[in-house]
Every structure is written in C-alpha cells, then in structure tokens.
Chain A
Amino acid sequence: MSTRTYKKFEASDSGDIPDKMTIYQDCMNQFNESPVNSKRCRTLLSRLLRLLANGETFTESEATALFFSVSKLFQHQNDSLRQLVYLAIKELSKISQDVLMATSSIMKDVQNGSDLIKPNAIRSLTVVLDETTAFSAERLLKSAMVSKHPTISSAAIATCYNLLPVSEQTIKRFSNEAQEAIVDLKYFPQDPSNTEFYPNSTFITQYHALGLIYELKKNDKMALLKLVNQFAGNNSIKSQIAKVQLVKIVSELVNKDPQLFTQFQPLFNNWLGNKFESIQLETAKLITNFHATHPRLVAPQLFSIAIATLQNLLSVPRVATRFSALRILNRLSMVTPDHVAVCNPELESLINDSNRNISTYAITILLKTGTAKNISSLISTITKFIHEVSDDFKIIIIDAVRTLSLNFPQEWKSILNFLIDVLKNGEGGFKFKNNIVEAIIDVVAFVPQSKEMALENLCDFIEDCEFNEILVRVLHLLGKEGPTASNPSLYVRHIYNRVVLENSIIRSASVIALSKFAISKNDTSLRESIVSLLKRIANDKDDEVRDRATIALKFIDTSTANEPTSSLADELIHPTSAYDLASLESKLSSYLSENNDSFKTPFDVTNIRKYSDDELKAINLKRKQEQLQKGTFENGMESSPKMAKKSDNKYGKRIDSDTYSSPNIDEQQQELLDTKYSDELLSMAEFQNFGKLVNSSKIVALTEPEAEFVVRGIKHIFKDHVVFQFNITNTLTDVALDNVVVSCNPEEPEESQLQELFIIPIERLLPSAEASCYIAYSKTEDVVTESFLNTITFTTKELDPQTNEPFEADEGFQDEYEIDTLYLSTGDYIKSSFIGNFTATFDELPNEEVAVYNIQESITLQEVVDKLITSTSCLPLENTQFVHSDTNSHILKLFGKSALNGSKVALVIKLIKSSKGIALKAQGKAENATLCSDLVNNLI
C-alpha cells in the first residue's frame, strides 16, 4: 500500500477528505469573484489546507493558478481571512515558484497590519524572500524583532533563523537585536478580562533568540562561551526550553573542547538541582555522555550526582520524565552497568509501571545491570511479565536477553530455559519468534555447553511451528550442530518427521540436514538408515526435494567409498569455511558489469577471502560487541548537539552536518575499505608473484586528521613479503603533489630483517584526492617486527584554476613532510578467533611465556585494555573487554590465531592499577613458541 492510499485509508476514519479538483475549482471561482466573500473564502482555504496537509499535491501550474487567485484575497481587509491567506501562501510556496508576487503585500502587513496578522505575515516572509529581496526587509524585521509583543518578536526571530541559509549577509547584521531579545522579557498585552486564566508570557522569545544567536555564532567558541557565561548563572532566562538549549550549547562546547568541562562543573551541579525536570535530564545526559567519551575529565562525585538525579526522576509522576530518565540510564547501562546498579530498587518497582514503554525499558536495564547473582531471579520475573506486553516490547526484551547470553555465558541454563519457554508458550508473530530463534542460535554458537539442550528443545519446537523461514533455519542449525552431539539419531528422527509432514521448502531443507548426519558421523548404522530414508525421499513428488535427495545420496556414496573426490563431497555437505560475503558480492557485481567475453571465462572465486567457522564467529562476536558499544556512544551523542530538533527540522540538520564533518567510518564501510585495498593491491602486476595475501592490518593514522597531508598506513603481510600501503590525502585546494614517495627507514638499520624491494610512487596527487604509495619488502623470517621512521617527499606544483593543470613554467619545489612512526608488530600476524571454552583451551596449549610491564602514564584500565586489544589483534573473550570503572584490577582474556599458519595463541593479562601506575602481567600460551614469546614480549 503506498503512503498515499494509506493516508486516504487512515483519513477515512476521521472524516472525508474533500475531492481535490472540486476544491480547486471552487477556489478558482470564489477567490476571483469581486467583491470577495470573506467567510466563504475562509472555509475554502481551510479545506484547501486540509487537503495539502493530507499529502495531496497540485501540479506546478495548478499551484501557480491557485496562488494567484489566493493573492487576490489581499484586497479584503478581514484579519482572519488574511491569516489563512498566509498559511496558504506558505503551503503553496513549496510547489509554486511565483510566490514572490506577494512580497509587497506581505511587507505592507508587516508594517501596518494589526497585531493579529503581523506574526503570520512575518513568518510567511520566510518563503517569499530570496537573497536579493531579503535586504529590503531588513528594517522591517529588525523593528519586529525588538517589538514588545512576544508573538511578533518570536515570528521575526524565527523568520531570520530560517532565512539564514538564504541570505547570510543580511541576517548577520541582526545579532544585536537577537541579543536584546534574549534579555528582554516580553509580556502579552494586558487584556483585563482573562489574565487569570492565561499566563502573561511563556518567554518563548528567549528560546528563539537564543537559537538565532547560536546559529550566528556557532563557529565562534569565545562568543558562545560568553553567551553561556552571560545567561547560565543568573536567572535572566525564564523559558524552560531556552534553558535546555543553553545546556545543549554547553554540551556542544565541551564535546568540541573537552578541557572546558572542568570549568563548567559548578554550573552542572547547579543545573542538576534546577526546578525544571527537563533541565536536570538534559544536564544528566550531558554528563553521562561526556563520561562515556572522556571518563577521566568527569569528577566521580559529579557523575554520581548525575546518576542520583536520574534516580530521583525515576519516581516522579510525569511519565515523559520517567521515560527520558530511563532512556539515559539504559544507554549508560551498556557501558557502565555497575554505575546504574544503584538505581535497581527504583527500576524494579518500575517493572510494574502501567506504561509498558517504561516497564520494558526498566527490565532491559535491569538485565544489563544484573550480576551473575541476580540474573536468574530477574529472568523469572520477566518470564511472568513477557506474556503481557506487545510484540515490539517482547522483541526488545529478547534482544536484551540475547546480549545477556554473551555477557554471562555461565548463566546459559536459565537464559536458555527462558528463551525456550517464551518460544513455546509465548504468543507472537514471525518477527518475535525469529528473534528468539536467533537468540538461541547465538547461545549455541557462543556457549558450546548449551548445545544439546538447545537443539532438543528446538526439535520440539519445530514439531509445531507455522513459519517456514524459522523451520528452515532450525533445520540448518540441526544439520550443522546435530552430527557432533552425543545422540544424533534423536535429531534424525525429528528431521525425518518434517520430511513426512511438511511442505516442499521444509522437505528440501530437511534433506540437506539429513545428509550432513550421514557424512559427518562415522556411525555406519546411522548412515545406512539415513541412506534408506533418503532413498525413500528420492521418490518425492517435488522436483527440488528429489534432486537434493539424489545428490545427497551420491555424495554419501563417494564419501564412503574413500575416493579422492570424497573430501570434495565432504566440503560441499559440511563446509568448513564461508566466503566473505561483502567481497563476494562486490566481485560478482563487477564480474557481471564487466562482462568481457559474454561470460565465457568463469567467475574466479579463489581471490575472495574465506573465513573458517571460528573466524566467522570471532567476526560476528566482535561486530556484536562493537555494535553494543558504538550504539551506546552514538545514541548518546544523537540528542546533544542537535538542538531544537523538536521545534525545527532545518535547525537540527544544519547543526548535525557541522558537528559530524569529521571522518567517521563505520564498521561496515571499514570492512569494505579493507577488501577494496587488498583487491587493489592484488590486482597490481608488481605484487602478482608474492602469492596469497595473508593478512592486512587495520588502517593506522600516521598524521593528525587535520594535517595538510593526511596519511594513513596499512600493513599487508604475505608469506615472504611485507607491503606497506600509505594512503595520502592532499587537503590543499590549489596545489598538486608530484612524484610522492614515502621513504621508510628502519629504526635500527643494521638489524633489519627486511630487504626493500621497490617503491610504487604516486605520480600526481591532485587537491582533495587520495592515492596510495606502496613499499614492498622481502622478509627472511616468518614473523618480523620492526618500527619505521617515515618521511614523505614530493614536488609541489601550483595549479591553474582554469585547467586544473600545473602552470607550465612551474618547476615546483621539493618538499618533505615527516609523519609518525609505523610499527610492524606481532599483532599484525594474528587474526582474532573465537573459542567457546577459553580456560580449557588455554590450559591445553603447550608453550608458555610470561612478561611483566609497568605503565607509568596516568591512563585508565579501560584505555590499556583497548590498546591491548588493538595491538594484539586478538578477540577479547568472556566479556573481558569492559573494565568495571570502580575496580583497580582487571583480567583480560584474548584469543587469536596466527595468520600465517593458523596456530592458536591465547593470552591472559592481569592488570592492577595503583598510585604509581598500572602493573601488567601477561601470560601467553600458544602452539608456536616463537609467536608466543614475540607476542607477549611486544605487548606495548
């Protein structure tokens, strides 16, 4: 259903929408009449507006005709008619280009109109003025801004605000008037008859004026600081919304310059005790968000006051306040659950809140702040609760439980029991059930002990499941995990039941699952029974099912016959690795679009990266962890810099684009970029004989992001070679760099085990372009770790702005630019990998190495942990990547595999923070002794 028909459908409940063409005709007739019947025209205009508000549109010519007929209503002096005329002009301006014809008439009303229509007239100036005409309205707008009437003043300020992108030059001259409007408290003209019932002012003008001032000065830090100092401390700002905005301005200031935070701390204290809940909320949000990014700058005391404020807000009567406080706490609970734990009593009482949004949030927070001790009791609480809420909330809860299973693997039993209970007994649609099944699949993947119990219950579930998609997923999981379980024949029975009872889609999925049991289990009797089952299925009435059964039988045949092809069959039935889907997709689409010889050359799949099962799990887990963290961070940022989002969309967007201008590559893009770089590298002739690309490092920044030439390095490891890729971005506007070469010098040239082979320079780097310079080395040993001092040398040439080519006579001049050191470390030879049972694996690994470090710098444990994870490129396991902020010690568990030969390496790193710094004891165990000692001894 399209939006339009949907809207029609929706409106049919709320009364009939008038027919578009009837309205159009009526408008044209009535408005052109002379004299104008103001009452009838008003009715018609409101019907027209209703039509437009319902999403109806007119063609440009219709809208133009309408506009001109509407403009004729200016001849009538009725104020209420005029108000509607302005509304109509604003609406029609979106379609018709000719609204400037109303300019003179509007300006006349702004000047001489009654107080009733002035605000409308001023606001409609927004749509009729352009850069050239804005100038002529300057005097009018200025005098309206300083008007004593709050509505007129607000209208003028809002109009200036919206005109800013249209005519910056004019509006820039308004800052004095805007400043005046903040200070000036405006009251509605006294009307003795109703003063008792109406407030004599909302002071909303202050909010609008503050917004305009901010827009005018947003790039001037000192001016903003002055603004904040002028208004934050005293009571000159009466409007609640304006105050909230002031908090947001401070939030932006401290996010741009974190050092300012300390100086604002007394102010924050003051704001947290403000009488308005919204200001308390906004301030608490600011502090907690800032804490997430700059934990060291927030005084612990202030932070706990912020939490206490939120805690108090949890029990206020106003629903919206409770909800907002919960949202902030929820975000916080993902990063520092221990801090939120103090609110648990309030949260627990909110579980029974009559507002389901609130109770759901309360539960998800509790799930996150839960400790190993109270998890099971929490789960029993939600078991009762979950059946009472709607599907959407159920899904939120399931997601929370799902992350719980990642954080508390040892609690798998109660978690799984809960999931199974909801799966079997919960009422809900496809999305809900699918989420539960996904959660269970997660538990199975990351907590191996849970496998049997989960599979058995899933078997029960599929006996009575109405969703094909879920059935197929479960069957796939059974086929993948079932054969290695202790009693595979149990699953075979369940799967075969599906073959007998279900439709063809499920039957074909079952066939594949069955065949996996036959091949991977060395149990001849089981295999024989499966073969006989498959033979029966080979007579199925559906083509697909028959085909699959036949091919499965063939595979089983070859794999039992011990022929050379048997491994191939094994591989097909039970794949041990999966392709990197992103790169497979991009390769396939480029294959399709190139189409050199009408697809005679088959698609070459060998270049695409493959991931083994464990690697895939590691990637998934990492992504989930990062999502969790990033989700927290970004959500946290979301509302702070985008001010006044509620009042004005344009506003929000504009600030948004400014604050986020810094490069912010997200995870997905990062991966695509990785693939792109390795593709580019492998496609270059120079690197053809280097063999398979073993590993590529993350992108390392080698300059400040705001440097003139931004350089980022990537280390590519081959079996006998190393290639450094330097991506250089020229940020200058009118200078090209010719013959850009990065010279890399080992810090200790005598001991270097790397032999430089060749350099591929960048011939010409145009302004704001990015290009790569490569340096190739051959290495003598498997693992070589060294650090390199790097300098870029290049010839700068000024560009002719006309042709974008260098001036002919310009010979340019040689220049050098030093960039940061590039470290080739052991971590570059390691790929993160997942292991279900870390402790057991750690004990089993043969070679051990221990090293102790002392870190003198004053950094937090979390920062050390983050650094360790990046430098080792291992995967943190058992949720040890988060450091509880109130402890002084931490144990980090890391696991990875050598990129060269796949040998396992595991690390247990114990950290203790004392007044002298951080002491760090790393215990590494690995299959390969050298790798182990290299890694452990080069941690920092």
Chain B
Amino acid sequence: MGNYFSSMFDKLWGSNKEIRILILGLDGAGKTTILYRLQIGEVVTTKPTIGFNVETLTYKNLKLNVWDLGGQTSIRPYWRCYYTDTAAVIFVVDSTDKDRMSTASKELHMMLQEEELQDSALLVFANKQDQPGALTASEVSKELNLVELKERSWSIVASSAIKGEGITEGLDWLIDVIKEEQL
C-alpha cells in the first residue's frame, strides 16, 4: 500500500520521471550559453552547435532533460526529430538581431504547429538584454506575434545569459506551468 502511494507521489511530482525540455532558436541566439548557465551556473565559451547538446539537470527537485539543438539553417530541419514527449520548449531570441525577427517568428510558429508539440508550454527568452540596442521583451513579443498563440501557456522573459539575468525567473515560471499541467 505504501508502495502504491509512493508511486502515486512519484507520478504527481515527477521525482523519478525526467522532464524533457527543448531549447530552440536561430543560430547565435545564445541557446548553448543558456543551457550551461542552467547546468553549471557559469558562462562557457561556445562554438556553433553542429547537432545538439544534451544535459540532465536537477532544478527544484525536478529532473530536467534539456536538449539544446543547433540553430543553423542546415540543422533546423532536424529539430522535429526531437519533438516527441517534450514538456516545454524554450525559444531563445537574439533581441538585438532586428533583421531576423521575422525569420525567428516564422520558425517559432511553424514549430508550434507540429502535432507533437500541442501540449508543450512555451517560454521565450528575449536574450542579450546586456547589449545596447536590444529590443525589450514586449517589443520582441510583438515582433514574434506571440499574442496570436491560443490554447497554450506561454511567457516571454527578458534575459541576459552572460549576466545570468532573467534565466531563473523564466525557468521558475516554466516549472510552475509544467507542474500544474501534470497535476
């Protein structure tokens, strides 16, 4: 009987189950930096990711299985190979790169139309806030047309992976949403 309860508990709180999170976005948005900021809390020097990085990290007693997929044009088509069982998508945008906002928006909406991602939460990081000329979160939100998203829990957070600002706030929100949905 106790066994039963504990497994119930596990199910509810996911202490055993890993939560799968994808970090996506255009190349050079800062995905890999965010991943390692989350995992080791430091800024690492990165190279363009050819393929993906995957790390398992524990956050607030939850086991997160975070996949950082390369953002180069040649690698974007492969994103879909990793959509299955994804609890949440973190979409990273370079807030200073105004020219490619529309591309980012297009990629985002195309991705969200995928069947496998219908139930996933979406967290957008308006990254590189430390740089001059960066758009604010609401400006990015407008550029990405986030208001159009229906029936999905989403949020946009201004962040700077280099300075470590906004990352935990965003993730906190995300964890809350995931817990809520699993309940």
A interface residue numbers (CB < 8 A to B): 32, 34-35, 68, 71-72, 74-75, 77, 98, 100-106, 108, 133, 136
Chain B 37-70 residues near chain A, CB threshold 8 A: 47, 49-54, 56, 63, 65, 67, 70
A106 to B56 CA separation, bound complex (whole angstroms): 17
Would you call B81 an interface residue if the criterion is a C-beta within 8 Å of the partner chain's C-beta atoms?
A: yes
Contacts of B54 in A (CB 8 A): 72, 74-75, 105
10 examples of A-B residue contacts, CB within 8 angstroms: A34-B17, A34-B18, A34-B65, A35-B17, A68-B78, A68-B82, A101-B50, A102-B51, A103-B50, A103-B51
* Shortest Cβ gap from A81 to chain B (Å): 13
A806 to B82 CA separation, bound complex (whole angstroms): 57
* Shortest Cβ gap from B98 to chain A (Å): 28
Are B82 and A72 in contact, CB atoms less than 8 angstroms apart?
A: yes
* Shortest Cβ gap from B123 to chain A (Å): 20
B16, B50, B65 pick with most chain A CB within 10 angstroms = B50
Contacts of B65 in A (CB 8 A): 34-35, 75
Contacts of B70 in A (CB 8 A): 104
* Shortest Cβ gap from A33 to chain B (Å): 9
Which chain B residue lies CB-closest to A65? B81
Contacts of B63 in A (CB 8 A): 35
Are B52 and A105 in contact, CB atoms less than 8 angstroms apart?
A: yes
Given A34-B65, A68-B81, A75-B65, does the pair A104, B52 have CB atoms closer than 8 Å?
yes
A68 to B56 CA separation, bound complex (whole angstroms): 18
A98 to B79 CA separation, bound complex (whole angstroms): 12
Contacts of A108 in B (CB 8 A): 53
A136 to B16 CA separation, bound complex (whole angstroms): 38
A108 to B49 CA separation, bound complex (whole angstroms): 10
Are A104 and B53 in contact, CB atoms less than 8 angstroms apart?
A: yes
Given A34-B18, A75-B65, does the pair A101, B51 have CB atoms closer than 8 Å?
yes
Contacts of A34 in B (CB 8 A): 17-18, 20, 65, 85
Which chain A residue lies CB-closest to B50? A103
B interface residue numbers (CB < 8 A to A): 16-18, 20, 47, 49-54, 56, 63, 65, 67, 70, 75, 78, 81-82, 84-85
Interface of A is mostly: helix
A71 to B53 CA separation, bound complex (whole angstroms): 10
Of B16, B47, B51, B85, the contact of A32 (CB 8 Å cutoff):
B85
Contacts of B51 in A (CB 8 A): 71, 100-106
Are B50 and A100 in contact, CB atoms less than 8 angstroms apart?
A: yes
Are B78 and A35 in contact, CB atoms less than 8 angstroms apart?
A: no
Contacts of B84 in A (CB 8 A): 32
In the complex, how many residue pairs between chain A and chain B have their CB atoms under 8 Å apart? 53
* Shortest Cβ gap from A97 to chain B (Å): 11
Are A98 and B78 in contact, CB atoms less than 8 angstroms apart?
A: yes
Contacts of A74 in B (CB 8 A): 52, 54
A103 to B47 CA separation, bound complex (whole angstroms): 12
A32, A35, A98, A104 pick with most chain B CB within 10 angstroms = A104
Of A32, A35, A77, A101, the contact of B75 (CB 8 Å cutoff):
A101
Are A101 and B53 in contact, CB atoms less than 8 angstroms apart?
A: no
A77, A102, A103, A106 pick with most chain B CB within 10 angstroms = A103
A104 to B27 CA separation, bound complex (whole angstroms): 14
A34 to B63 CA separation, bound complex (whole angstroms): 11
Closest A-B pairs by Cβ, 3 of them = A103-B50, A104-B51, A68-B81
18 extra interface residue pairs, beta carbon distance < 8 Å, beyond A68-B78, A74-B54, A101-B75: A34-B20, A35-B18, A35-B65, A71-B51, A72-B54, A74-B52, A77-B56, A98-B78, A100-B50, A101-B50, A101-B51, A104-B52, A104-B53, A104-B70, A105-B51, A106-B51, A108-B53, A136-B50
Are A133 and B78 in contact, CB atoms less than 8 angstroms apart?
A: no
A101 to B78 CA separation, bound complex (whole angstroms): 8
Contacts of B16 in A (CB 8 A): 35
Given A75-B65, A98-B78, A136-B47, does the pair A105, B53 have CB atoms closer than 8 Å?
yes
* Shortest Cβ gap from A129 to chain B (Å): 9
Which chain A residue lies CB-closest to B77? A98
Of A32, A35, A101, A136, the contact of B52 (CB 8 Å cutoff):
A101
Which chain B residue lies CB-closest to A77? B56
Contacts of B56 in A (CB 8 A): 75, 77
Contacts of A136 in B (CB 8 A): 47, 50
Which chain A residue lies CB-closest to B84? A32
Which chain A residue lies CB-closest to B66? A75
A565 to B63 CA separation, bound complex (whole angstroms): 103
* Shortest Cβ gap from A71 to chain B (Å): 8
* Shortest Cβ gap from A850 to chain B (Å): 83
